Amino acid sequence: MSWELVAGFETHIELSTKTKIFCHCTTEFGGEPNTHCCPICIGLPGTLPKLNKKVVEYAVKAGLATNCKIQSKSKMDRKNYVYPDLPKAYQISQYDKPLCEYGFITLSSGKKINIERIHIEEDAGKLIHERKSTYIDYNRGGVPLIEIVSEPDIRSIEEAVEYVEKLRLIMKYIGVSDVKMQEGSLRCDVNISVRKKGEALGTRTEIKNMNSLNFIAKAMEYEFKRQIDILEDGGKIKQETRRYNSDLNITESMRGKEDADDYRYFRDPDLVTINISDEEIKKYKDELPELPGEKFNRFVNEYGLPEDDADLLIKYKRIAEYFEAASKNIENKRLTANYILGSIFRRLSTEIEKEECKISIPPKYLNTLAVLVEKKKINSNIARNTLEKMLDTGKSVDEFISEKDMEGMDDDFLRKICEKAVAENENAVDQYLAGKEKAFGAIIGYIMKETKGKADAALAAEIVKELIKQ
């Protein structure tokens, strides 16, 4: 019987509020160390926290977008532990009454990864290890987080990566976080155990603070094999917290893994009960945009896009919005999709450029070009060449295509050119009939040269094949 991987995720997502969860300090990323903090952030005696209402709103929206039940009453608790990045010696979080419970994310296979809970909490500071010393930057302390805790439903590394990708995309679409993993806006604690299929869950280990999909995949692969090796050698898995060492591609032990009892949770006496009315929940739900899964289905079922194309477009929220604007009033929306995924994506070489939709022309320029193609005012070759010039200069179609270019070509005239091409390229015709497909390109090339690129290449190909068969 083979070994089975069992994994669950605790995903921490920094919320895009302007101020921190319990004070008015900025949440802006960066800044000189310890300049974005105040007595409340660093837990000085006598300070009182006040909950940022926007944090509750964003958490509820995250819960609604992941099919959670929203609790009408919840509270804040103190999670007690001692670590240098936590100056109060406790973290304000939620324990037994989180804001959101019992949701799910649906994978492309149709499998649901169940979400146990989503709760709000404050982030800790950051430890910086340099010159054989450890420094602490409290700028990040008090930045609002939601923690999304999944059930141990993940059974492969592929499922794990897709789960994080879908979660990340949903949070970006609803605007509660920029989810920039490279800046720590989304971090995952990965809980892993192994078992023989059908047996009870094994002892889990936790890999902390993973902020790269690539590293998550590598760390899970290593930890899966490590646990199997231990068990097959007759050993036992130790419940512990580990870190991923990317230089050595291994996981390393950090400390023993705590259970909830170890944190001595109790209600925070300085913060009031959180009450959310049905009216507020409805308001937040109505404010949600179209979610990535819904947009994907519309692109495929209504627009007729291939699933792979739809996947690529919705992966980047701004690109998806650009595509919709560029496809306005166009029947064949695959035209604009092909231009974006072809010519435009070739110029957007990095993920950041795609995320930020750094396209040199506005969508209305691409829309104008696609309309000309759809109305057969210009052919696909002219359109592609024109698009490259537009992208080079940022100028509109009118700068490169004249009225004469849009006159098109009479079908009877095109047939005469095709007849001439067949007559004057006998060798190419014979080679094509002998099975050499490349020879056909020479005939079409002749036609395009004779018509100065104005011929519809697809129509010309149909006419030539008809003539050759006669």
Question: What's the sign of the alpha-carbon dihedral 298, 301, 303, 304?
Answer: positive
pLDDT tens digit string along 210-225? 999 999 999 999 999 9
Supply the DSSP string of 148-179, one letter for each residue: EEE-S-B-SHHHHHHHHHHHHHHHHHHTS---
Percentage with pLDDT > 70 across the chain:
97
Question: H-type helices in 28-95, by residue range?
Answer: 53-65
Residue 382 pLDDT grade (very low, low, confident, very high; cuts 50, 70, 90)? confident
Place of tokens 């950051």: 126
Report which of residues 375 and 236 the model is more confident about. Answer: 236
Is residue 404 over pLDDT 70?
no
CA–CA distance, 150 with 129 (Å, rounded to integer)? 31
Residue 407 pLDDT grade (very low, low, confident, very high; cuts 50, 70, 90)? low
- Give all domains of the chain, ordered by start, each with its CATH number: 3-284 (no CATH), 290-407 (no CATH), 411-469 (1.10.10.410)
Residue 405: its pLDDT value, please?
A: 61
Residue 194 pLDDT grade (very low, low, confident, very high; cuts 50, 70, 90)? very high
Place of tokens 């190419």: 428
Question: H-type helices in 315-350, by residue range?
Answer: 317-326, 334-339, 345-347
3-state secondary structure of 246: coil
Q: What is the mean pLDDT of residues 370-389?
A: 87
Between 7-11, 160-164, 373-377, the lowest mean confidence (pLDDT) is in 373-377
Query: 78 forms bridges with which residues in the sheet?
Result: 92, 266
pLDDT tens digit string along 277-328? 999 999 999 999 999 999 999 999 999 999 999 999 999 999 999 999 999 9
Tokens of residue 25, six digits: 């300090």
CA–CA distance, 143 with 124 (Å, rounded to integer)? 8
Which amino acid appears at position 366 of this protein? L
Burial of 152 (0-12, 13-18, 19+ CB in 10 A): middle
φ and ψ at residue 21, rounded to 5 degrees: -70, -30
Query: 256 forms bridges with which residues in the sheet?
Result: 240
Supply the DSSP string of 286-310, one letter for each residue: HH----HHHHHHHHHHTT---HHHH
Axis crossing angle, helix 307-314 with helix 317-326, rounded to the nearest 10:
120
pLDDT tens digit string along 145-174? 999 999 999 999 999 999 999 999 999 999
Q: What is the mean pLDDT of residues 375-387?
A: 85
Residue 415: its pLDDT value, please?
A: 84
Is residue 453 over pLDDT 80?
no
pLDDT tens digit string along 232-282? 999 999 999 999 999 999 999 987 766 667 889 999 999 999 999 999 999
Is residue 419 over pLDDT 90?
no
Question: Quick one: which of 186, 146, 147 has its CA closest to 165?
Answer: 186
Q: What is the mean pLDDT of the chain?
A: 92
Tokens of residue 268, six digits: 């925070």
Tokens of residue 230, six digits: 């231990």
Residue 421: its pLDDT value, please?
A: 85
pLDDT tens digit string along 39-63? 998 889 999 999 999 999 999 999 9
Residue 258: its pLDDT value, please?
A: 65
Residue 386 pLDDT grade (very low, low, confident, very high; cuts 50, 70, 90)? very high
468 conformational bin, left if phi > 0, alpha if psi -120 to 50, beta if neither: alpha
- The CA–CA distances, whole Å, from 11 to 105, 191, 207 equal 13, 11, 12
Cα angle at 154 between 153 and 158, to 5 degrees?
Answer: 160
Which amino acid appears at position 272 of this protein? V
Residue 420: its pLDDT value, please?
A: 86
CA–CA distance, 146 with 120 (Å, rounded to integer)? 4
Is residue 470 over pLDDT 80?
no
Residue 413 pLDDT grade (very low, low, confident, very high; cuts 50, 70, 90)? confident
pLDDT tens digit string along 57-78? 999 999 999 999 999 999 999 9
Report which of residues 30 and 188 the model is more confident about. Answer: 188
Residue 1: its pLDDT value, please?
A: 62
Residue 111: its pLDDT value, please?
A: 97
Query: Strand 186-196 and strand 3-14: pairing?
Result: antiparallel
What's the N-to-C CA distance of the chain in angstroms? 64
Residue 260: its pLDDT value, please?
A: 66
Question: Quick one: which of 256, 246, 159, 248 has its CA closest to 204?
Answer: 256
Write down how long the chain is. 470
